[in-house]
Amino acid sequence: MLNTTAPVVRIRYNTQSNGNDLCWRLIIDNEEHLVHHINVQAPCITTKDWMEEINTFKHHITIKNCRVAIDESLIATITSAE
């Protein structure tokens, strides 16, 4: 479904989720992807990022220089690109 490399990926909880489906927002190159589960196999940090499009700060789990694969079941795997 998606297989890409990205300089930065941000993860945050989808507050509009029902708690069972599409619980996570992945922001890749300013494009949002909703997924059910995420498996992070790369170094990550927490960040507070200014979101210009909504004019507020949001907190994320942030992964830099990584590969992202989202399968047909909407499960994301994030690994180091190095």
pLDDT the model gives residue 51: 85
DSSP-based three-state secondary structure for 18? coil
Q: How far apart are CA 82 and CA 63, in angstroms?
A: 12
Instruction: Report the pLDDT averaged over residues 6-30.
Output: 95
CA distance readout (Å), 49 to 18, 27, 57, 80: 25, 12, 5, 21
Partner residues linked to 8 by β-bridges = 64
Tell me the domain boundaries of the chain.
1-48
Contact between 27 and 9 under an 8 Å Cβ cutoff? The reply is yes
State pLDDT tens for residues 53-72: 889 999 999 999 999 999 99
pLDDT band at 33 (very low <50, low <70, confident <90, very high): very high
pLDDT surpassing 90 at residue 7: yes
CA distance readout (Å), 35 to 4, 50, 56: 15, 22, 23
pLDDT surpassing 90 at residue 30: no
Q: Which pTM was predicted?
A: 0.91
Q: How far apart are CA 7 and CA 70, in angstroms?
A: 17
